[in-house]
Amino acid sequence: MRNDIPGRRAETDESQADLAAAVGVTRQTINAIERERYDPSLELAFDLADHFDCRIEDLFDPED
């Protein structure tokens, strides 16, 4: 599933480790999501959207 997490992290100047700590997962999980090797749980998707103050649909595109 395509996502805009790298772009959002760049806008906020956050590292993968910073984001991981903020949403309670490992840096490896963030890396896997960004590389489209892992689809986050619904709970994690909501946490990421909340962190970036956006909708889940703004972060993830299941159609691509």
- CATH code of the domain in which 19 resides: 1.10.260.40
Establish if 58 belongs to a structural domain: no
pLDDT in tens, the chain (64 residues): 999 999 999 999 999 999 999 999 999 999 999 999 999 999 999 999 999 999 999 999 987 5
What pLDDT is stored for residue 62 in this prediction?
82
At residue 38, the pLDDT reads: 95
CB within 8 Å of 57: residues ≥ 6 apart: none
In a domain? residue 64: no
The pLDDT assigned to 59 comes to: 96
Determine, yes or no, domain membership for 60.
no
What is the sign, positive or negative, of the torsion defined by CA atoms of 61, 62, 63, 64? positive
The first and second tokens of residue 3, run together, are: 């996502």
**Range of the structural domain that residue 19 is part of:** 2-52
The number of distinct structural domains making up the chain is: 1
Return the pLDDT at 33. Answer: 97
